[in-house]
Amino acid sequence: MQEKPIIRILLAKPGLCTHETGVKLLAAGLRDSGMEVIYTGVFQEKDNIARVALQEDVDVVGLSYLNGGHVALTKGVIGALQEVGRGDIPVIVGGIIPKADIEPLHAIGVAGVYGPGTAIPDIAEDIRRIVREASAAPALAP
């Protein structure tokens, strides 16, 4: 009886960066756009992110980075999601992303890349589109 399904997003910070301000602002912004934001703190390993995504049955996983390693870390998370049988969950990436990394991120299957200065309502809008398209796409066998 839920008229519009509420989008559930897991926000995670892989890697070793401890600055939480950006991801917390994003969490608050997405909440204000009507989403349920699961936040698990800093220092998340790829396997833990995948395990949480599986248990929480999220619609999308958002990764936040401030200092490099985006492509390799993201690739790791996507692989971990596939390993737990949830390679169907779209992954998005935000933070300080060098221009040169955007194309490679898309190439490994990232559904959305949001550099610094992307307004949160625009990110929210794009997430809605991504989730809509993902649920319309023919689902993978579990």
Partner 1 sequence: MTALPQAELLERMRAGEIGALARIISIVENERPGFEPLLRGLYALPARSNAIGFTGPPGAGKSTLINAVIRCLRQRGKTVGIIAVDPSSPITGGAILGDRIRMGEHVKDDGVFARSLGSRGHLGGVSRATRRIVDLLRRSCLDVVIVETVGTGQSEVEIAKIADVKLVVNAPGLGDDIQAIKAGILEIADIMVVNKSDLPAAASTKRHLEMMLMLRAANRDVPVLATSPLRNEGIEALVDTAESLLASRIPLDSASNRADIRNMIAEHVANTARRRLGLDGDPALAAQIDALCDAFAVGELGMNEITARALRLLA
CB distance 19 to 113 below 8 Å: no
Taking the alpha carbons at both ends of the chain, their separation in whole angstroms is 26
Q: Say whether residue 5 binds partner 1 (CB under 8 A).
A: yes
Out of 22, 82, 84, 120, which residue is the one contacting partner 1 (CB under 8 A)? Answer: 84
> Is the Cβ of residue 68 or residue 83 nearer to partner 1 in the bound state?
83
Q: Say whether residue 128 binds partner 1 (CB under 8 A).
A: no
Residue entry with tokens 């950006």: 22
Q: Say whether residue 27 binds partner 1 (CB under 8 A).
A: yes
Site string for partner 1, 43-62 (x = CB under 8 A): ----xx--xx-xxxx-----
Q: Which stretch binds partner 1 (CB under 8 A): 28-36, 60-68, 69-77, 102-110?
A: 28-36
35: helix, strand or coil:
coil
Strand pairing of 112-114 and 91-95? parallel
Out of 17, 37, 80, 110, which residue is the one contacting partner 1 (CB under 8 A)? Answer: 37
CB distance 140 to 87 below 8 Å: yes
> Helix crossing, 21-32 with 120-136: angle to 10°?
70
40: helix, strand or coil:
coil
Q: How many chain residues are in contact with partner 1, going by CB under 8 A?
A: 34
Residues at the interface with partner 1 (CB under 8 A): 1-2, 5-6, 27-28, 30-41, 47-48, 51-52, 54-57, 84-86, 88, 139-142
